[in-house]
């Protein structure tokens, strides 16, 4: 939530890997000195520079200097609490995306910031962690006759955004399974634990929705921006991504509605259960309390209690008690209590 960049010391140097490719050539390398990047700025080939674990440090600043990135953008890259957005800076497009992933064991959504800078001949991605989330795209690039090799730079850009949107669907799918599981639980054997799980899921859904909403805007702006960096051919693919983001938003909202409905069901189930508990208590208590009174009555030690000396006093008392109990039971039956 904090807007200001966290000025952590760059304890770990960021790792930088580059894939430089044309339709027929491919070069993959790990950059050791930041200045080695420079040669990828203006080659005839397409270069994808992937920076892991970037922080506001000399490294990032040098990078900015090498590729003419505006300082305000370097700030944004470093500050991982940005909301998804798109900025057109003429010679390059700057995009902030959020990569969501779901930790099933902890039932928590992790959100990682991905910043992408798209230029005519190079594309730079910045991500927080060390893990390579775009591994499958790299695999595709390694295949010589793959479409991605033939298409211009913006097709790689599209592929990256598509991968990010796909992650939303993966998370939504897992949350969806959770919703279904909770629904079964509430219908079968609801417990306070179920309620807490509903709450956690709602919490997650709120966070997810918060990060999906601006994504729609980003993709929609991508299509509206008449940047020469986005070819008309890629636009068809962007439309597809747009449809998917809309679908993701609608799915998230459908789940939210279902969770609300589930909560209502849970509460009504609780109230129903309480009613049942109360009825059991009431039936037992209302039947026996008058009987116990009667036993108390003839347990009194008054000297002059004629009934106590009657020969059939005891059976009579038992009879009265039995009558009272039967009357009570019939009364509750009439009231549909059991």
Site for a second copy (CB under 8 A): which residue of 38, 240, 323, 326?
240
Site for a second copy (CB under 8 A): which residue of 26, 308, 324, 329?
308
Choose one: 21-29, 112-120, 149-157, 181-189; the region binding a second copy (CB under 8 A). Answer: 181-189
| Residue 324 engages a second copy in binding (rule: CB under 8 A) | no
Minimum CB–partner distance for residue 189 and a second copy (Å): 7
> Which parts of 79-118 interact with a second copy (CB under 8 A)?
81-83, 85, 87
Choose one: 21-29, 97-105, 109-117, 269-277; the region binding a second copy (CB under 8 A). Answer: 269-277
3-state DSSP of the chain: CCCCCCCCCCCCCCEEEEEEECCCCEEEEEECCHHHHHHHCCCCCEEEEEEECCCCCHHHHHHHHHCCCCHHHHHHHHCCCCCCEEEECCCEEEEEEEEEEEECCCCEEEEEEEEEEEECCEEEEEECCCCCCCHHHHHHHHCCCCHHHHCCHHHHHHHHHHHHHHHHHHHHHHHHHHHHHHHHHHHHCCCHHHHHHHHHHHHHHHHHHHHHHHHHHHHHHHHHCCCCCCCHHHHHHHHHHHHHHHHHHHHHHHHHHHHHHHHHHHHHHHHHHHHHHHHHHHHHHHHHHHHHHHHHHCCCCCCCCHHHHCCCHHHHHHHHHHHHHHHHHHHHHHCCCC
Site for a second copy (CB under 8 A): which residue of 192, 224, 226, 334?
192
Binding mask 127-166 for a second copy (x = CB under 8 A): ---------------------------------------x
Minimum CB–partner distance for residue 223 and a second copy (Å): 14
> Which parts of 242-261 interact with a second copy (CB under 8 A)?
243-244, 246-247, 250-251, 254, 257-258, 261
| Residue 202 engages a second copy in binding (rule: CB under 8 A) | yes
- Count of residues interacting with a second copy (CB under 8 A): 95
């Amino acid at each position: 939530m904090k807007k200001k960049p966290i000025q952590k010391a760059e304890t770990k140097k960021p790792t930088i890997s580059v894939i430089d490719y044309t339709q027929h050539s491919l070069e993959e390398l790990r950059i050791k000195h930041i200045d080695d990047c420079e040669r990828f700025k203006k080659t005839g080939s397409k270069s994808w520079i992937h920076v892991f674990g970037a922080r506001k440090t000399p490294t990032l600043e040098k990078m900015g200097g090498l590729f003419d990135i505006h300082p305000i953008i370097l700030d944004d890259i470093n500050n991982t609490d940005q909301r998804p957005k798109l900025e057109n800076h003429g010679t390059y497009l700057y995009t902030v995306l959020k990569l969501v992933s779901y930790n099933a064991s902890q039932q928590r959504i992790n959100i990682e910031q991905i910043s992408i800078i798209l230029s005519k001949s190079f594309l730079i991605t910045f991500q927080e962690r060390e893990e390579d989330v775009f591994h499958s795209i790299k695999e595709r690039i390694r295949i010589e006759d793959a479409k991605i090799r033939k298409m211009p730079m913006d097709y790689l850009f599209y592929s990256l955004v598509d991968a990010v949107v796909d992650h939303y669907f993966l998370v939504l799918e897992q949350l969806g399974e959770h919703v279904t599981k909770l629904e079964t639980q509430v219908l079968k054997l609801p417990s306070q634990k179920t309620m807490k799980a509903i709450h956690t899921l709602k919490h997650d859904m709120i966070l997810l929705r918060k990060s999906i909403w601006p994504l729609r805007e980003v993709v929609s702006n991508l299509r509206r921006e008449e940047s020469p960096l986005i070819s008309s051919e890629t636009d068809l693919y962007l439309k597809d991504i747009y449809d998917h983001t809309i679908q993701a938003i609608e799915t998230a909202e459908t789940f939210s509605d279902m969770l609300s409905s589930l909560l209502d069901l849970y509460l009504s189930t609780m109230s129903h259960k309480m009613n049942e508990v109360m009825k059991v208590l009431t039936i037992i208590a209302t039947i026996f309390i008058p009987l116990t009174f009667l036993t108390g009555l003839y347990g009194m030690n008054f000297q002059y209690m004629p009934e106590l000396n009657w020969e059939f006093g005891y059976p009579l008392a038992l009879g009265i008690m039995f009558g009272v109990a039967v009357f009570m039971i019939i009364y509750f039956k009439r009231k549909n209590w059991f």
